[in-house]
Amino acid sequence: MTDLVDQAAWVLVVAFVLSLTYELYRATVKAGTSPHDSVAAFVKTDLALYVVAAVVIGSLFADFPWAPWAGLIFSASVTAVSILYYNPKIMPARKPGIIDWFEDLIFTSLVFLAMALLGYQVLGITLE
């Protein structure tokens, strides 16, 4: 495994552990604040994302030849959804506070960083 792929995999682990912790917090402690904040909503809409993330991260750690491309496409997709859908649609409904904004900014930044690292990998660019 190349250093860039390894680093991207660890960045995605941190991003999705943060996100999972946050979404479980919203589903339990903040349940009912918005239609997105319940255990049922978590299972219905969020659980599939974490399963796909686990598969992508596992494939990066397993060093499958196609994994950097899969990770790049996944990271780009999640970044786009975060910016273009989650922020304008879901965040306002959740009546965000400091924890919500912190998690959103850190998560999106980490996934973007993973996308950049995997982009360098698939382009064959090395960092010194």
Residue 76 included in any domain: yes
Residue 47 included in any domain: yes
Q: Are 2 and 122 in contact (CB under 8 A)?
A: no
Q: What is the rounded average pLDDT for all residues in the chain?
A: 95
Could you say which DSSP state residue 36 is in?
T
Give 1's pLDDT tier (boundaries 50, 70, 90). Answer: low
pLDDT for residue 107 is more than 80: yes
pLDDT for residue 2 is more than 70: no
User: CA–CA separation, 101 vs 98, rounded Å?
Assistant: 5
pLDDT score for 126 = 80
Residue 110 included in any domain: yes
Structural domain of 40: 3-123
What value does the mean pLDDT take over residues 75-81? 98
Residue 57 included in any domain: yes
| Tally of domains in the chain | 1
Residue 128 included in any domain: no
Q: Are 79 and 115 in contact (CB under 8 A)?
A: yes
pTM comes to: 0.93
Could you say which DSSP state residue 72 is in?
H
Report the share of the chain in percent with pLDDT over 70. 98
Residue 12 included in any domain: yes
Residue 23 included in any domain: yes
Residue 115 included in any domain: yes
Could you say which DSSP state residue 35 is in?
T
Report the share of the chain in percent with pLDDT over 90. 94
